[in-house]
Amino acid sequence: MTRSLNCVFAGKSASAIPGGEFKEWIVNEAKNLAITGWVRSLHDDRHEVLAQGSEENLEKFRAHLLQGPPLSKVENLECKWIEYEKTFSSFELRQ
Protein backbone atom coordinates (compact mmCIF):
# COMPACT_ATOMS: atom_id res chain seq x y z
CA MET A 1 0.00 0.00 0.00
CA THR A 2 1.22 3.47 -0.92
CA ARG A 3 0.12 6.64 0.85
CA SER A 4 -1.60 8.69 -1.81
CA LEU A 5 -3.55 11.91 -2.17
CA ASN A 6 -7.00 11.45 -3.74
CA CYS A 7 -8.76 14.64 -4.92
CA VAL A 8 -12.11 15.29 -6.59
CA PHE A 9 -13.11 18.70 -7.91
CA ALA A 10 -14.97 20.61 -10.59
CA GLY A 11 -12.71 22.46 -13.01
CA LYS A 12 -13.57 24.43 -16.10
CA SER A 13 -11.54 26.54 -18.47
CA ALA A 14 -12.86 29.92 -19.60
CA SER A 15 -10.91 29.63 -22.86
CA ALA A 16 -8.35 27.45 -24.55
CA ILE A 17 -5.33 26.88 -22.34
CA PRO A 18 -2.03 27.20 -24.23
CA GLY A 19 -0.44 23.78 -24.49
CA GLY A 20 -3.53 21.70 -23.87
CA GLU A 21 -6.74 21.07 -22.00
CA PHE A 22 -7.41 21.16 -18.27
CA LYS A 23 -6.43 17.53 -17.62
CA GLU A 24 -3.26 17.93 -19.69
CA TRP A 25 -2.34 20.90 -17.48
CA ILE A 26 -2.75 18.63 -14.44
CA VAL A 27 -0.47 16.01 -16.03
CA ASN A 28 2.19 18.67 -16.68
CA GLU A 29 1.95 20.04 -13.12
CA ALA A 30 2.33 16.51 -11.75
CA LYS A 31 5.37 15.80 -13.89
CA ASN A 32 6.98 19.11 -12.87
CA LEU A 33 6.66 18.09 -9.20
CA ALA A 34 7.74 14.44 -9.71
CA ILE A 35 4.21 13.26 -8.85
CA THR A 36 2.98 9.90 -10.15
CA GLY A 37 -0.59 8.61 -10.43
CA TRP A 38 -3.46 9.59 -12.69
CA VAL A 39 -6.25 12.04 -13.54
CA ARG A 40 -9.62 11.18 -15.04
CA SER A 41 -12.95 12.81 -15.81
CA LEU A 42 -15.98 11.69 -13.86
CA HIS A 43 -19.48 11.42 -15.35
CA ASP A 44 -20.68 14.55 -13.54
CA ASP A 45 -18.14 16.97 -15.11
CA ARG A 46 -15.76 16.69 -12.17
CA HIS A 47 -12.18 15.41 -12.20
CA GLU A 48 -10.54 12.85 -9.96
CA VAL A 49 -6.82 12.74 -9.23
CA LEU A 50 -4.78 10.07 -7.49
CA ALA A 51 -1.31 11.41 -6.71
CA GLN A 52 1.78 9.79 -5.21
CA GLY A 53 5.09 11.38 -4.28
CA SER A 54 6.80 13.17 -1.42
CA GLU A 55 4.44 14.78 1.07
CA GLU A 56 5.99 18.19 0.35
CA ASN A 57 5.41 17.88 -3.40
CA LEU A 58 1.91 16.52 -2.89
CA GLU A 59 1.02 19.57 -0.79
CA LYS A 60 2.40 21.83 -3.57
CA PHE A 61 0.41 19.84 -6.14
CA ARG A 62 -2.77 20.26 -4.07
CA ALA A 63 -2.17 24.02 -3.97
CA HIS A 64 -1.69 24.05 -7.76
CA LEU A 65 -4.95 22.13 -8.23
CA LEU A 66 -6.79 24.63 -6.05
CA GLN A 67 -5.49 27.53 -8.13
CA GLY A 68 -5.93 25.81 -11.50
CA PRO A 69 -4.47 26.88 -14.84
CA PRO A 70 -4.80 30.45 -16.16
CA LEU A 71 -8.36 31.45 -17.13
CA SER A 72 -9.91 28.53 -15.26
CA LYS A 73 -12.19 27.99 -12.31
CA VAL A 74 -11.75 25.23 -9.73
CA GLU A 75 -14.64 24.50 -7.37
CA ASN A 76 -15.21 22.15 -4.45
CA LEU A 77 -11.69 20.68 -4.23
CA GLU A 78 -11.88 17.80 -1.78
CA CYS A 79 -8.69 15.87 -1.00
CA LYS A 80 -8.02 13.02 1.38
CA TRP A 81 -5.08 10.81 2.20
CA ILE A 82 -5.64 7.14 1.31
CA GLU A 83 -3.63 3.93 1.17
CA TYR A 84 -3.62 2.79 -2.47
CA GLU A 85 -2.79 -0.77 -3.49
CA LYS A 86 -0.64 0.21 -6.51
CA THR A 87 2.47 2.35 -6.87
CA PHE A 88 2.76 4.29 -10.12
CA SER A 89 5.95 5.07 -12.08
CA SER A 90 4.46 7.94 -14.12
CA PHE A 91 1.44 10.24 -14.22
CA GLU A 92 -1.31 9.08 -16.58
CA LEU A 93 -4.22 10.75 -18.32
CA ARG A 94 -7.13 8.32 -18.02
CA GLN A 95 -10.45 8.36 -19.88
Supply the pLDDT for residue 49. Answer: 97
Supply the pLDDT for residue 86. Answer: 95
Sheet strand arrangement including 36-41? 72-84, 2-13, 46-52, 36-41, 91-93
Tell me the residue length of the chain. Answer: 95
| SS3 (DSSP) at 65 | helix
Supply the pLDDT for residue 33. Answer: 98
Report the chain (95 residues): mean pLDDT per 10 consecutive residues.
Answer: 93 57 90 97 90 97 92 90 96 91
Number of H helices, E strands in the chain: 2, 5
Supply the pLDDT for residue 16. Answer: 52
